[in-house]
Structure 1
Amino acid sequence: MKKTIITTALALCVAVFSVNATPATSTIENSTSEYFFKVNSFCVSIAKGDFDTVQKLIERGADVNERSNGMTPAMYAAKFNRTEILNLLISKGANLKLRCSNKSYTAAKYAELHGADDAATIIKETLKKKKKK
């Protein structure tokens, strides 16, 4: 009799928990789609490392200092260690001293936080050159 009561109680607990459970995919889908709508196509191309697209967008008038999701294009290039794109952005007038509107980080700080040593070196050298001028 005890076994029957304990088994029934356990089955009831499992049934209650499974009825109240929500699928994890719905949470993931919602948060992912919200994220992508906040980042413009220019910065997505930078994050992916698509140099040709970034170059074409700049030629068509994309602002190299326009924020997307609080970050500048140089911050995305630094975060993802896209050195070729970072050099292009700098040559087109990217301001490396701007701070992220969300966390007040600079492109150099994003490079440091994400272990993007090559991007950090480029930023450091560029800022030294500009300081000397």
Structure 2
Amino acid sequence: MKKSIIISAIALSFTFGTAHATPFTSTDNAPEIVRYYKVNSFCVSIALGDIDTVMKLLSIGEDVNQVSNGMTPAMYAAKYNRTEILELLIKHGANLKAKTAKKMTAAKYAEIHGADEAAQIIKTALVENKKK
């Protein structure tokens, strides 16, 4: 009988001890976690739809297949449905078959983000490239 009372008392003390526990949520000295994603100005211009800046950068020799934050300029154009810019990139030799580390292409970005016009442009360009 004494054993069961002692065991019950110990179990009861653990129950009350954990029921009133509060998680550690100190904000006074907690370090702030900041993540920076490096996207070059060329891809930022594409994402914003700034075709004038894109044209200027292309005219001074910007690489249409450079990778910025894991994506090519064509992927940014496809993702944000920047059709005029996408056509311009294709004319300048953008590689539409390039893949990210997650095996995603510009066509896949267009599909995921509902950029139907960009998807059609990519599909047409890939068909035309096969004919050549």
TM-score bracket, shorter-length normalisation: 0.7 to 0.9
**Matched residue type, 2:57:** L
Hey, what's the Cα distance between the residues in 2 that align with 1:17 and 1:64?
49
Whole-angstrom CA distance in 2 between matches of 1:47 and 1:17: 40
**Aligned-partner SS, 2:74:** helix
Q: Is the helix fraction higher in 1 or 2?
A: 1
CA-atom RMSD, angstroms? 2.0
Q: For 1:58-77, list aligned pairs within 5 A.
A: 58-77=58-77
SS in 1 for 2:96: coil
Q: Distance in 1 between matches of 2:115 and 2:58?
A: 23
Q: Which residue is equivalent to 2:15?
A: none
Deviations 1:27-53 (A, max 9, x none): 5xx23xx02xx1100000000000000
Aligned residue for 1:42, secondary structure, equals helix
Gaps of 5+ in 2: 1-20
2:122 maps to a residue whose letter is: I
1:107 to 2:113 alignment: no
Q: How far apart are residue 104 of structure 1 and its match?
A: 1.4
Any residues of structure 2 matched to 1:1-133 within 5 Å, and which? Answer: 20-21=26-27, 27=33, 30-31=34-35, 34-35=36-37, 38-100=38-100, 102-133=101-132
Q: Deviations over 1:47-76 (max 9, x none)?
A: 000000000000011000011111110000
Within 2, Cα distance between the matches of 1:114 and 1:103? 16
Q: What is the one-letter code of the residue matched to 1:63?
A: D
Please give the per-residue CA displacement for 1:11-33, whole angstroms capped at 9, x wherever unaligned. xx99x977x136xxx55xx23xx
Report % sequence identity. Answer: 64
- The number of aligned residues is 110
Name the TM-score, length of structure 2 as normaliser: 0.76
Query: TM-score of the superposition, structure 1-length normalised?
Result: 0.75
For residues 92 and 17 of structure 1, what CA distance do their matches in structure 2 show? 55
> Larger Cα Rg: Structure 1 or Structure 2?
2
